[in-house]
Structure 1
Amino acid sequence: MFEQKRAYWRSLDNAAKLFSAASSPKDTRVFRFYCKLKEEVEENALQEALDQTIEKYPVFLSVMRKGLFWHYLEKSELRPIVRTEYKEPCSSLYVRDKKTLLFEVTYYKKRINFEVFHALTDGTGATEFLRELVKNYLHLVHKEELEPVELSDQYLTVKDQEDDSFSRYYDPDFPRKKKKKVKAFQIKKSGKGYEELQVKEATVPVKELLGISREKGVSMSVLLTTAFICAIHEEMSRMQEKKPVILMVPVNLRKIFPSDSMLNFFGYIEPGYQFGEGKDSFEDVLETVKIYFRENLSKEHMAGRMNELIAIEKHKILKWAPLELKNRCIRAGAKMAEQEVTAVLSNMSVVKMPEDYADYIEKFGVYTSTNRTELCICSFKDTLSLSFTSRYDSTNIQRNFYRILTELGVQVTVTEADFPEDAKANYEGKKVLQIFTFCCIAAIVLSMMTDIIISPGVHWSVYVASGCATMWFTMAVGYVKRFNLLKNAAWQLLIMSGICVLWDLGTGWRGWSVNIGIPDICLLIQIVMLIISRIRSLSPREYMIYYVMASVYSMILPFVLLMTGVIRYRTPSVICIGCSFLLMIGLIMFKRKEFKEEMHKKFHVG
């Protein structure tokens, strides 16, 4: 057995860079793969099984961090803890500035849930992890009946698991065809849309569906894609038929380009149909989709699309753009790309388990967070699981889809998605900020009322409003950055410096902000950072970048103010510059290795 050694940190793959930038509370980019057993789940056994599984796939023990140009994944000593299901399915796992694992294992009754942030892995990687987890769990619970088995004859090293196959197969000289941009039909929310993720599930027999697909001379994927397109069309008006119905269908690139990577490695195709031109029957759509799949699933076509996406990532302007600007560009691009797709269909293919183990399993299922309508599919033995997710209150498309399959001769069994009653999204933190915001507004309004009634010529309300605005802004930044106290302190250093100057200007410039305020704030924040690091026992890798930022800022700003003659009282600024310089020199001399590593991580561009 080879020793499992992980990289301390690694760059994100091409797809992960999109997910890390575009994720939001409404579109978390989290998907759930689950296994429903024929018996109740035992928590202690599941925890032990998870500990065993993570030993085989340590690549999952990563946290997301921010650099100057890109996000990156960093090795973590955190360990996953199994717990009962407690929140809305596919809720956020990546919380900015919070150091947390990007996956979670929960259970409810007979169901084992594996949820993962898409920047960490794709459907194939999640499938392998869940298979291993379920196998380990069943062996622990049924040791007497089940022999230990390996799910694969091939042993994957961590290097295999961490392989960035996008970069490995990228060919900058490969000819790329420009795709014509077409705006697709968009499913609109009704006036009373729900915020919660709506999950609708059903099952169909694989043999029945496969038999009908063969009769029509197509694959199951082509048949289901056609049924989905036609189900959407039934909800369209004549005016809406001017735009085509287009589905995004992810494709596992490992079937085209050999790879054992556990990272993202998928492409996509976009089959669709233009209705309203006379030939709108199921057979007409089926033939068009069949031709599209045949022409676009070729190795040459998938390679061209993959190279096109990677070429955008490696463009010099985007590559060297600061992360915050880059994120906004990626989000804008993702929003524009959404206009070219009506819905998503993800086929996770077949999930296989050893025969003895399969006797304890009822089914596997998968679904994902989405801000549109998405259908996820996977099969186990003779059960094909269909899972619709959306944030719309209407279920007409799902109803149409099931009816179409039934008319084709497929038996559809609709199942009720079973979740704990208290599994809801948590908005408590937002409520605190909302209450504070209301209190600030109320204070301003009351001060204005008092001003008008008691002393109309004094305008004390201006000072009250300025003070409330100052408190609110400081509080808002503190709330957003509450998960990382050192980052919060770095932001407060900038904010408090700026506020000091604004108050000095607003009250008749006396220079106290630059002579005393800024130097004292710089020293205070650096002392606070040292205390936080000490109390929380942070490693040099966790505090290094914030010490560097604070010390550089605290040297440069007072120095510039001194050289330009703005400062008249030199003592505080000289002390601030000297102490900040000593902090920086101390980091370089005594933490040289960590200093170089952190600078390399934060400023990497590839």
Structure 2
Amino acid sequence: METGYSRWRKLDNAALAFPLVTGKHDTRVFRFYCECKEPVDPEILQKALDETMKKYPLFQAVLRKGLFWFYLERREIKSVVTEEKKPPCSRLYIPDKKTLLFEVTYYKNRINFEVYHALTDGTGAMHFLQELVQNYLIRKHPEAHLSRMESGEESTPWDQEEDSFSQYYSLPEGKSEKKPTAVRLKGEKLPHEEMQITELNIPVKEIHAKAKSYGVSITVFLAAVMLCAIGEEIPRSRQKKPVTLMVPVNLRNYFPSQSMANFFGWIEVGYTFEANTTLKDVVNHVKEQFGKELIRENVARHMNGYVRLEKNPFVRAVPLEIKKYFLMIGASLGSRSITAVYSNIGILRFPPGYEAYIEHFGIFASTDILQLCSCSYQDQMLLGFTSKLPNDNIQRNFQRILKEESVGFREEKQDFPGRNEQQEKEERQIFRIFSFLCIAAAVICAVSDYLFTGALNWFGFAVAGIACTWLLVAVAYSKRRNILKNEMWQLLLITILAIVWDRYTGWMGWSLDFVLPIGALGVLCSMTVIAKVQHLEREEYLFYLIQAAMAGCIPIVLVWLNLIRFVYLSVICSGISFLVLTGLMIFQKKDTFREFHKKLRM
């Protein structure tokens, strides 16, 4: 274990909502890749990755869920280089599945770095990929004597892990401005595995000269072209609303920070189109908005507005299971002022000699509707469009405008082997079959009861039993990736269902006398065995073991309240559970309190 790095850290402000809005339709994953001039050697790439992880060990983290917030926790999971087989930007964060939040894959000449946005932003990903490619090429071509990049002042573990949002937060002044509702791109969305990806390769000199002729930066010019490309697809009946782009802003340009976590804000630039609007009109308006928003005072005001919600004591005290609905509603309402996203990561620089082995770099991201990302290396700027819209009219409009402006480009060939792979759907299909069989069994019971008795006498009990079985299996299916959490859910459900059955079949007390103590003791013992057999790290089982032990102490409380008739099982269960809790407090006190601190952090 590396020293100097925290075993866990809270999510930065920009990433708080990412786990809640992540799903199979928007994975919140982006791909940064390097196209080499020769086939990739996977063995050398693995060694380069191992070396890179020594410099950036904070990427060695999984996402976990606390009572009030999500947090990142270090895990000794080795990142293994694999050949690309999944669709681009496939899910990396799957609830209850303890995996790293990034992947390094290769395909032919391409090195792919895919990362979940809650782990880092585009700048952090760029530094990681630069280090990885540097280490790979130095190992691959020792005869070239390639020099290493000058990193300037070496960052410390604290620098890399710093939550710069909290570091530079100050109480915001005044109320935030109300943003107008933007045009929304409508239509049936494609599934993620069919997401459209279009990449354009533009000479940097040409696009820079064109932007300079308008008196603006490349980012401003391309944002204006993007707005015009979208504006052409908006019907006249909807042109009363602005077409608005969300443009991420690297806050490290305004506040000194070496953090590898997320540290970005964003501005929103838009234009309300009219019949005679020209590209120059849009460029000038976007230039004005950039000039107004990208001053330190406004950037700081926006940043403080983001952090204010997280710092609110009432929001912090609300449990995550309740808070998540409000955060999701807030994210949905916030997206109403945005039509699409344009993110310019910037320039990747290497010392002389690397250009002999590097063709170009590229970047694109998963999206819910439409996004454009860009980066440049040498004289090549790669624009990566991703879209869930069935047609590619906006991308074609964008290319036509570039041609009209005499900006040359070529469209990169799309070669993603994962597109042809059938995604794993067997487990989902099995559960659907099981659900149908449960419904069929209920119908058969109803028909049989009526045909043989002329009424529905025992049908209600049969349906209740089927419903209980379906509920237990459904919870087991949804929590299948974390067996310890699954056990706690099953203990809770089985106990509640047993009490309900006991109550409505003439109270005999068997639910409290036998089901609760046997279930609690069984879960407690099985957790110990599972943790030992699967060689689980302490962070993976300790909190669940505490929960199980606390549940095992409940029977003695029921004995004290004279609710238990057969006391032997309850006393044994509570005695063993109390010893487990005492042992944890004596022998693993530091780790136990650390788990409570992580889970209960507000």
Asked if these proteins are the same fold (TM beyond 0.5), I'd say yes
Q: For residue 339 of structure 1, give the secondary structure of its aligned residue in structure 2.
A: helix
Instruction: Name the CA shift for 1:179/1:428 in 2 (closer, same or farther; >3 Å).
Output: farther
Which residue pairs with 2:379 in the alignment?
382
Q: Which residue is 1:502 aligned to? A: 500
- Contact kept in structure 2, 1:33 and 1:114, CA below 8 Å: yes
Matches within 5 A, 1:322-471: 322-420=319-417, 421-423=419-421, 425-457=423-455, 459-471=457-469
* Residue equivalent to 1:479: 477
SS in 2 for 1:271: strand
Distance 1:25 1:495 in 2: 28
Is 2:91 the counterpart of 1:92?
yes
In the TM superposition, what is the alpha-carbon distance from 1:471 to its structure 2 partner?
A: 1.8
Q: Which moved more, 1:573-582 or 1:95-104?
A: 573-582
Q: Is the 8 A contact 1:87 1:426 kept in 2?
A: no
Instruction: Report the alpha carbon displacement of residue 212 of structure 1 after superposing the two structures with TM.
Output: 0.8
Kept after mapping to 1: 8 A contact 2:87/2:193:
no
Per the TM alignment, residue 427 of structure 1 is displaced from its structure 2 partner at its CA by 3.0
8 A Cα contact 1:132 1:151, kept in partner:
no
Which of 302, 305, 315 pairs up with 1:305? 302
Moved over 4 A (4+): 191-195
* Structure 1 residues 314 and 192, CA gap change in structure 2 (3 angstroms): closer
- CA-CA distance at 1:82 after TM superposition: 0.3
| AA aligned opposite 1:457 | A
Shift of 1:11: 1.4
- Equivalent positions of 1:582-597 (< 5 A) are 582-597=579-594
Which segment drifts farther, 186-195 or 386-395? 186-195
Residue 569 of structure 1 is matched in structure 2 by 566
Structure 2 equivalent of residue 21 of structure 1: 20
For residue 587 of structure 1, report the CA deviation from its aligned partner: 1.1
Alignment size in residue pairs: 600
Whether 2:29 is the aligned partner of 1:30: answer yes
Q: Output the amino acid matched with 2:253.
A: K
Report the Cα offset of residue 522 of structure 1: 1.4
* RMSD after superposition: 1.8
Q: Partner residue of 1:167? A: 166
Aligned to 1:144, the other structure's residue is in SS state helix
- Bigger shift: 16-25 or 37-46? 16-25
Distance 2:74 2:345 in 1: 28
> Once the two structures are superposed, what CA deviation does each residue of 1:364-414 show, in whole Å capped at 9, x if it has no partner?
011111111001111111111111112221111111111111111111211
Q: Percent identity?
A: 45
For residue 216 of structure 2, give the secondary structure of its aligned residue in structure 1.
coil
Aligned to 2:245: 247
How many angstroms does 1:442 deviate by? 2.1
Is the counterpart of residue 288 in structure 1 residue 285 in structure 2? Answer: yes
| Aligned-pair CA distance for 1:280 | 2.1
1:418 Cα deviation (Å)?
0.8
Match for 2:391: what amino acid?
Answer: S
Whole-angstrom distance in 2 between the partners of 1:41 and 1:199: 23
CA contact (8 A) 1:121 1:262 kept: yes
3-state DSSP class of the match of 1:155? coil
Report the CA distance between 1:281 and its aligned residue.
2.0
Query: 1:165 Cα deviation (Å)?
Result: 1.0
Q: Answer yes or no: is the 8 Å Cα contact 1:146–1:357 preserved in 2.
A: no
CA contact (8 A) 2:189 2:369 kept: no
User: Once the 2 structures are TM-superposed, how far is the Cα of residue 344 of structure 1 from its aligned partner?
Assistant: 0.4
**Deviation per CA, 1:105-131, whole angstroms, max 9, x where unpaired?**
001111100001111110000001001
TM-aligned CA distance change 1:133 to 1:151, over 3 Å: farther
Aligned pair partner of 1:238 in 236, 239, 246:
236
Contact 1:209-1:220 within 8 A present in 2 as well: yes
Deviations 1:323-352 (A, max 9, x none): 222222211111111111100001111111
8 Å CA contact 1:61–1:77 kept in 2: the answer is yes
* Distance in 1 (alpha carbons) for counterparts of 2:595 and 2:355: 47
1:72 aligned to 2:71? yes
Q: Which range moves more in the overlay, 568-577 or 53-62?
A: 568-577
Unaligned 5+ residue runs, structure 1? none
2:239–2:272 CA contact under 8 A, matched in 1: yes
Instruction: State the AA in 2 paired with 1:59.
Output: L
Distance of aligned partners of 1:210 and 1:343 in 2 relative to their CA distance in 1, 3 Å threshold = same
Asked whether the 8 Å contact 1:87–1:424 carries over to 2, the reply is no
Would the alpha carbon gap of residues 493 and 93 (structure 1) be closer, same or farther in structure 2, given more than 3 Å must change?
same
Q: C-alpha distance in 2, partners of 1:43/1:240?
A: 51
In the TM superposition, what whole-angstrom CA distance separates every residue of 1:198-229 from its partner, at most 9, and x where no partner exists?
Answer: 21111111111110111111111111111111
Are 1:603 and 2:600 an aligned pair? Answer: yes
1:212 aligned to 2:201? no
Q: Using the alignment, how far apart are the partners of 1:473 and 1:144 within structure 2?
A: 64
Q: How does 1:42-81 map to 2 (within 5 A)?
A: 42-81=41-80
Q: What is the alpha-carbon distance in structure 2 between the residues aligned to residue 428 and residue 34 of structure 1?
A: 31
Counterpart amino acid of 2:482?
N
When normalised by structure 1's length, the TM-score is 0.95
- Pairwise CA distance, 1:142: 0.9
Structure 1 pair 535–192 and aligned structure 2 pair: CA distance change class (3 A): closer
TM-score by length of 2: 0.96
Identify which range, 139-148 or 236-245, moves more after superposition: 139-148
Q: Which amino acid aligns with 1:514?
A: L
Secondary structure of 2:143's counterpart equals coil
Q: Which amino acid aligns with 1:229?
A: L
Code of the residue aligned with 1:320 in structure 2: it is A
Q: Which amino acid aligns with 2:170?
A: D
1:507 offset after TM fit, Å? 2.6
2:517 partner SS: helix
Q: Any idea what SS the aligned residue of 1:239 has? A: helix
The answer to whether the 8 Å contact 1:22/1:327 transfers is no
1:176 Cα deviation after fit: 4.3
Post-superposition Cα deviations, 1:504-552, rounded to whole Å, max 9, x if no partner, equal: 2333332221222222211121122122122123343322111111122
AA aligned opposite 1:21: L
**Is the contact made by 1:176 and 1:304 (CA closer than 8 Å) also made in structure 2?**
no
Judge which range, 217-226 or 560-569, deviates more: 560-569
Residues in 2 aligned to 1:323 and 1:547: alpha-carbon distance in whole angstroms: 21
One-letter amino acid of the counterpart of residue 43, structure 1:
P
Residue in structure 2 matched with residue 186 of structure 1 by the alignment: 184
2:446–2:456 contact (8 Å) kept in structure 1: no
8 Å CA contact 1:19–1:119 kept in 2: the answer is: yes
C-alpha separation between the residues in 1 aligned to 2:220 and 2:514? Answer: 71
* 1:459–1:380 CA distance, 2 compared to 1 (3 A): farther
Helix, strand or coil for the counterpart of 2:523? helix
Q: Is the 8 A contact 1:35 1:111 kept in 2?
A: yes
Q: Give the structure 2 partner of residue 544 of structure 1.
A: 542
Question: Residue deviations 1:51-92, cap 9 Å, x none?
Answer: 111111111111111221111111111110000011111111
CA distance in 2, matches of 1:289, 1:490: 54
| Residue type at the aligned position of 2:320 | L
Matched residues in 1 for 2:248 and 2:477: separation?
37
Distance 1:596 1:292, change over 3 A: same
